[in-house]
Chains A and B, each alone.
Chain A
């Protein structure tokens, strides 16, 4: 490819300055991102007061999903399906692995312990970023490249409040029933796999499951999911809001947002786990 603008003279120390410019651009991007997040969170009360109709519409849309996703049962069914498969994994991997050291009776314990602390938050974060997160990026990106967001601003509607804050809040509200579905599906799948498929006595399973299921852990796991949702929705709305480069650019923004939010959510889960459970683990084998 030949350079188009040959008339512009090259800068002295061009390479060095390019590096500096890249660094400055990255630094500014981080600043812009932080500013967007702060603005979005600060505008949440405003969204509740002034854009309540939009909020309710988004809650309904997020619960059901949009486009072809309705056909497979919407967000609830997708999240339920994903946690069901990972719950079944407890039965498959846990039962067999424990059986190899003669402890298969403890599969119920593995379900109560690993499902709550590890598997459900991890799977839910992935599922949320794929469903409501990616959908938000795709919608906002399409609005951005069609210049609908600028049109909103011209009409005097605060676009960050109207589009981003409402989505973050709607995500948090939607995740409450979603978390319940996710946990239930994980437990049911693990129990079904262990007792029906691998033929363990259901009394054995239920005894160890009931003994080691800690309500405190469940509540913390729920708060983990809510905290993750806030971060995931913030990341996804940011990437949608700043999409550029036509239809392909929107698609790439969706990909980048999914990638970023998965990493950020994973780091967040670890931080919250370490903070909540601590070095001692907040766990007592005696029940």
Chain B
């Protein structure tokens, strides 16, 4: 019997996650909406995410154009380095870096915060007072992660392209005009739209997973650390999986 319970545990966790997600979506449209908490959380996630996001996107976009330019130099086509930079930064690096940071910085802090409240029975206290913790705490956090992911991905793309531009033009001696005119050769409004959709979905998933792990934490103080660790692992896995699927679907519409 014990082994059956152990075997059923992942399914129970999955079921619990979907139940909480459904609750969150249902309560998202019910009043009263926790505006104050939403604004505070959005500001918090933005504050901890912006600097690491920009510091992470620069090296990755520089690495991308460096690798891509090796290839283009071989063809004698380094004028097209802007095209490669645009494809890589807009489609992949922008949304992925955004979400790595939102989940690494924002979601971990949310999970730690909610987990600490759970093991101190503060969530039960809320329930006793007739306040639904999902509505008061989870909904604003999930929406905050989504908002910040969407808002941040645009700035990450801009900074990534600017970094690629500086690296190509000043270090690899690509003509600035050729770089700029190559940007939009293969990348259009459709790609930008897909990229923003990706970032939004990523933020939503990261918010939901971190809140689930925080609300259903167990095992005392040591459990919070493990819950945060699991949050990071599971968000990264889900995000990479979502990325492949959305890329495969989106590319049918954007590449003609």
Q: Which residues of A contact B (CB under 8 A)?
A: 66-69, 71-72, 78, 81-82, 85-86, 88-89, 92-93, 96-97, 99-101, 113-114, 117-118, 122-123, 126-127, 130-131, 134-135, 137-139, 141-142, 145-146, 246-252, 254-256, 258-260, 262-263, 266-267, 269-270, 273-274, 277, 279, 281-285
Contacts and interface: CB of A to CB of B under 8 A. Distances in A.
B230 A68 contact: yes
Interface in B1-48: 9-10, 13, 48
A260 B51 CA distance: 11
Interface of B: 9-10, 13, 48, 52, 55-56, 59-60, 62-64, 66-67, 69-71, 73-75, 87, 91-92, 100-101, 104-105, 107-109, 111-113, 115-116, 119, 172, 186, 220-230, 232-233, 236-237, 240-241, 243-244, 247-248, 251, 255-256
19 contacts: A67-B230, A69-B230, A82-B237, A93-B247, A93-B251, A101-B186, A118-B64, A127-B236, A130-B232, A137-B225, A137-B229, A139-B225, A142-B222, A248-B116, A250-B225, A259-B105, A262-B100, A266-B63, A273-B63
Of A137, A259, A285, most B-chain CB atoms within 10 Å: A259
A64 to B, nearest CB: 14
B98 to A, nearest CB: 12
A248 B115 contact: yes
Given A97-B186, A266-B59, A270-B62, A134 B232 contact: yes
B112 A248 contact: yes
Contacts of B56: 262-263, 266
Given A118-B64, A251-B111, A273-B67, A78 B233 contact: yes
A82 B240 contact: yes
Given A255-B108, A273-B63, A134 B228 contact: yes
B70 A138 contact: no
Contact of B233 (A89, A96, A130, A267): A130
Main secondary structure of the interface of A (DSSP, over half): helix
Contact of A93 (B48, B91, B111, B236): B91
A30 to B, nearest CB: 16
Of A86, A88, A146, A255, most B-chain CB atoms within 10 Å: A255
B63 A251 contact: no
Nearest to B49: A259
Contacts of B70: 277, 281-283
A251 B59 contact: no
Nearest to A88: B244
Which A-B residue pairs are the 8 nearest by beta carbons? A251-B112, A255-B108, A281-B70, A138-B225, A248-B116, A247-B221, A85-B240, A266-B59
B32 to A, nearest CB: 26
Given A85-B241, A100-B255, A285-B75, A247 B225 contact: yes
Nearest to B87: A97
